Amino acid sequence: MGTLTLEGFRAELLFDLKNRTDTTTPEGLSVARQDMFINAGYLWVTHPTVFRHRELQHSYTLALSTPVPGTTNVYLFTPAPGNVVITGLRYVSHVDAATDDPTAFRTKLFPKDEQWFQERTLTAGGPPRDFAVRGNNLLISPVPGTGEVGEVLVVGAWREPAVLVGGATTVLSTLWDEIVVLAARWRAEFHLGYRDLAEGTKLDLVGLVNEYQDFERLQGEDWDWVSEVRVERTMESA
């Protein structure tokens, strides 16, 4: 978890904006506007297209249970159970069990696009083999039949963190507090009309994010080995 609370981010943002004091005027930086810029920067930093944070990896199951088995292949994947917002998929697997049983037979589904589904007649029954994303839903093929009811899909994904509120810190390492401040400053400068400053801040921000890529490697100090965390693309395509 980070160290700075939302209040700390506000203070750092105002300092970065040359100690602006017009925080109560309608055209100035009210607390609500400060929070908007801070959370916009925070959600940008945590999006998987910017950086894939281990703290935001998430997995859950979707039950293959339909009112009329064999008649639907559409399953809502976001928000996930617990009202978790999903921002990217890592994998979808079918498990021949009612839970994510590690000993049960499982098959990783192949990612397709929706056009692939529209170009063919889907078969009914049998374990799912393919999936595509349509809005907030997964399309799967074959269409689950009575034999698959009660089994589950295991979805590996990237989740969106909750926005910062008073007293809250980020879910990331303290190392990222600096980058969240910089991202908030970028959004503030952009919206306040300082476009030249915003472009310069964005270049600094992107440079720091790229620099931090190396910090995400896991190293074993005793045996001189390096284990790189490898994940799939945010949204795989066929």
Q: What is the pTM of this model?
A: 0.81
pLDDT recorded at residue 108: 94
pLDDT recorded at residue 181: 96
Exposed/middle/buried for 220, CB within 10 Å: 0-12, 13-18, 19+? exposed
- Distance (Å, rounded) from C-alpha 104 to C-alpha 154? 12
Distance of CA 40 to the CA centre of its chain: 14
pLDDT recorded at residue 124: 80
- Distance (Å, rounded) from C-alpha 89 to C-alpha 221? 32
- 62 pairs with which residues across the strands? 153
Going from N- to C-terminal start, the domains of the chain cover: 6-47+162-227, 56-159
pLDDT recorded at residue 144: 86
- Distance (Å, rounded) from C-alpha 199 to C-alpha 204? 9
The tens-digit pLDDT sequence of the chain (238 residues) is 889 999 999 999 988 887 665 555 655 678 899 999 999 999 999 999 999 999 999 999 999 876 444 557 889 999 999 999 999 999 999 999 999 999 999 999 999 998 998 888 888 888 899 999 999 999 999 988 888 888 999 999 999 999 999 999 999 999 999 999 999 999 999 988 889 999 999 999 999 888 887 555 555 444 444 444 444 444 444 4
Q: Do residues 188 and 37 make contact, with C-beta atoms less than 8 angstroms apart?
A: yes
